[in-house]
Amino acid sequence: MAAERVVAVTGGASGIGLAVAEAALAEGWHVAVADLDAGGLAAAEARLGTARASYTTLDVTEEDAVEAWIAGAAARGPLKGLVTSAGIAREVPALETPADLFRRVMEINVTGTFLCARAAGRAMREAGGGAIVTLGSVSGLRGGKGRVAYGASKGAVVNMTRVLAVDLARFGIRANCLCPGPV
């Protein structure tokens, strides 16, 4: 039996991540779903099933855990896709945003995206190529009231993805950033 094509999805227990997981399953992919919310992950598992999906509780800011999750996904078959949908948003005016909140949003949205993209990029290089899709936001393209931390983080994701596209192209890996409005 041929190895399954694998796509890894962070934030896969809800919203865009869950929709991506459903769509990938419908197209015949094995989907490695990760999310920090164990209860949401269990609900996603009940909804999507286990025939061609695996589920992992994951904090995208934990480097070793991200590396282990990607290695596990790649062990099922060639890792050909990554969608980084994990993220947090807080609506707090700039002058009232505490530094610890700003740091936390940056850590999850930017560093978490980077750790996942780096680990997946390494696996995709070994698999002969693939595609990385990061989730930015219109808030990362233009300012939005009360979104200083979120907007800054998503602007960083947009630019980081541009750099990933240039760095990874020689390995046959595409990197693109989607920037949806409110979801």
pLDDT one-digit tens code per residue, 119-159? 999 999 999 999 999 999 999 999 889 999 999 999 999 99
Q: Are 66 and 108 in contact (CB under 8 A)?
A: no
Residue 79 identity (one-letter amino acid): L
- Which candidate in 29, 55, 102, 150 is catalytic? 150
Mean pLDDT, residues 71-77: 96
Q: And the tokens for 17?
A: 């991540």
Record the pTM.
0.96
For a pLDDT cut of 90, what percent of the chain falls above it?
95
pLDDT of residue 4 exceeding 90: no
Band of residue 3 on the pLDDT scale cut at 50, 70, 90: low
End-to-end CA distance of the chain: 39
Known catalytic membership, residue 150 = yes
Phi, psi of 14 (to 5 degrees): -160, 170
